[in-house]
Amino acid sequence: MANLMAGTIQAAQGMLKLMETDVKFGQSMLEQDLRFEELPVEWRLNTIKASRVARLWRSEGRQALAMHPEIVSVASLASSDKIPVEVLRALPYICPMVIFSDPPRIPSWRKYKGRAEDDPFMPYEESEMRILGYITYSFSQPIMPDGRVVSVEQQCRLMDEMVRTTHDAESSNFGAIVMFEILDKAGRRVDMEATSISMPYDQVSTLKQLVDDQADRFVFAGETEQPNLPLLNAATRRIANFSQDKDRVRPWFKEVFKTVLGSLMYLCSTTLDAEKVPATATRKLGAMTMARKPLSLYRVGWTTGAALSKLRQERAMLGEPSAMGDLQHQQDPQHRRAHFKTVWTGPGRSIPKTAFIAPYWTHRERLGNEGINTMRRVV
């Protein structure tokens, strides 16, 4: 328990630090500070969006949710039919900041070969990423002026205006800012990064379809508009080429979506397990970061997660099969996988709700101390 809380605080500190940086620079970019003119427009727009999301969380969201690693693990592996994105409107909190107490590791999508010493942005060799967590929001695509060229200043303003809280009734899309630590081969943190993912509320798709849609829309960076900065142009061009390699980014997005969407489905589930963390445990976060004081932190899935940890240990201990009772007539215990179940409720059964079904044993009373029955009658 103590180790998990320490991991929660560490991950939260990393996320809040990244949010503070976005808020600091986002406002300057929105005001067209000349110091940022050399950066690609996409970078500036993403920073403005992340800044707006962070400010919305602090002003209206205010909740931080620490997810138990067992819940994150089983939810990311849980099976599901086509997912109605509309179900994400059932999030129990406004713009929550979701923190992974034991951040999952995934391979980096860039995979630089050798140290990129000529890269002014990322002069290191990266190997893995740790998903610290994410912040949710909603938005509707801005209405662009017909037949007119939109200036960078207008693009920045429209980006800032389109971001809304998760439960805004007029929003047509769900979004999340996912935050990562970038690790080198020795497992040391060399940088931090944020990626935006989104999906329309009216979409009903499989995980693969959601991943494919996101990968097709993914643009990490465009070229800078400054022709007198060849080094910067070369760096942004290389990253842009990487992001266009869909065979490179699609597997990465699959891991991100499995983790983020799985935890979101659990948060929207009717079986949500959440408890408030005493303010004394988060006093330092409130005093040293942009979080409100005191920070509202909830442990999510810690009761269920502890039970799943016990179940995992029991499975690991099951070795040799045990013979119990009448093998001819008894039904063997079966391990059922975790899965999500969509339940349609409301008038005309038109409102989707999601239930998370944790993994479990059938006929648990027939589990032996050393194994399950694997003997079968041969006729």
Compute mean pLDDT per 10 residues along the chain, 379 residues long, and list them: 84 93 93 86 90 93 90 82 88 93 88 50 76 96 64 90 93 96 87 92 92 85 53 58 72 93 88 82 74 81 80 60 41 67 79 74 59 44
Residue 200: the pLDDT is: 95
Q: By the 8 A CB rule, do 246 and 213 touch?
A: no
Angle at 131 between CA 287 and CA 242, to 5 degrees: 125
Radius of gyration of the chain (CA): 23
Q: By the 8 A CB rule, do 301 and 273 touch?
A: yes
Global confidence as pTM: 0.78
Residue 123: the pLDDT is: 62
Q: Which two three-digit tokens encode residue 252?
A: 């990465």
How many whole angstroms separate alpha carbon 269 and alpha carbon 71? 12
Which DSSP symbol is given to 135?
E
Distance of CA 325 to the CA centre of its chain: 47
The residue whose two tokens read 């080198």 is 184
How many whole angstroms separate alpha carbon 365 and alpha carbon 345? 34
Residue 335: the pLDDT is: 65
DSSP-assigned beta bridge partners for residue 297:
64
How many whole angstroms separate alpha carbon 23 and alpha carbon 41? 17
Residue 232: the pLDDT is: 55
Residue 324: the pLDDT is: 38
Q: Give the strand pairing for 128-139 and 105-107.
A: antiparallel
Residue 323: the pLDDT is: 38
> Helix H segments across the chain?
2-30, 41-56, 69-77, 152-162, 207-217, 230-244, 246-267, 283-288, 302-317
Residue 328: the pLDDT is: 43
In residues, how long is the chain? Answer: 379
Considering only CA atoms, which of 87, 47, 4, 17 is closest in space to residue 297?
Answer: 4
How many whole angstroms separate alpha carbon 101 and alpha carbon 110? 25
Residue 78: the pLDDT is: 75
